[in-house]
A = this chain, B = another copy of it.
Amino acid sequence: MIPVGATEAVSVDTRVLAATNRDLEEEIKRGSFRPDLFYRLNVIAVHLPPLRHRQDDIPLLAESFLARSATLRNEGVKMLRDDTLDALMAYAWPGNVRELENALERAVILSTGSVIDPDALPERVTARRAEPLVSERTPVSPTLEAIERAYIQWVLQNEGGNKSRAADMLGIDPSTLYRKLARYGEA
């Protein structure tokens, strides 16, 4: 595909072809596709899933890490003392899951017994209420409208600029597509 206005020829198509299968197409046709589809999107740029929005997940995540860690080290699973867990849940984890994982790994190493107490956690975690980081990075997702626009453009290109066919793909009336495009043009 040659992007509008560009001159580069690409060989993406090929791989796409290889990666596709009918089942998926079917599933997609009926509009039900899995979120992991969007994880891919994500990998490129869209969003940083903020762990701090899911504090309830922390116990589960922690448990899972501890279990894995125990397996890897051929040791028994270490437990979190209640207040240790509290600390974990209170912290904002700006580094998300990775940071949580690292902290727990460290804690496992530092703990001699089978119970992990708060002392084993990095200071920044236990320091209650680390003041809101200067640049509390607010993650950004594209606007619904932005997605619509981009997707439309993309389908349109795949249909060789044929608006009627593109409209069929999109499941809307050609006139509707026509107007949407017009709107995009203005703005």
Contact = CB atoms under 8 A, between A and B. Distances in A.
Interface of A: 1-3, 7, 9-21, 24-25, 27-29, 31-33, 35-51, 53-54, 57, 60-61, 63-64, 95-98, 101, 139-155, 157-160, 162, 165, 169-172
Given A2-B54, A148-B148, A45 B64 contact: no
A32 B27 CA distance: 29
Main secondary structure of the interface of A (DSSP, over half): helix
Nearest to A187: B31
B38 A40 contact: no
A17 B160 contact: no
A98 B15 CA distance: 8
A158 B53 contact: yes
A163 to B, nearest CB: 12
Contact of A28 (B40, B63, B142): B142
B35 A48 contact: no
16 contacts: A1-B49, A1-B57, A9-B57, A9-B64, A12-B97, A13-B49, A17-B95, A17-B96, A28-B146, A32-B146, A33-B150, A37-B150, A49-B157, A141-B158, A144-B148, A144-B151
Contacts of A165: 53
Contacts of A143: 31, 169-171
Residue in A60, A63, A155 whose Cβ sees the most chain B Cβ within 10 Å: A155
A111 to B, nearest CB: 21
A96 B35 CA distance: 28
Contacts of A17: 48, 95-96, 98
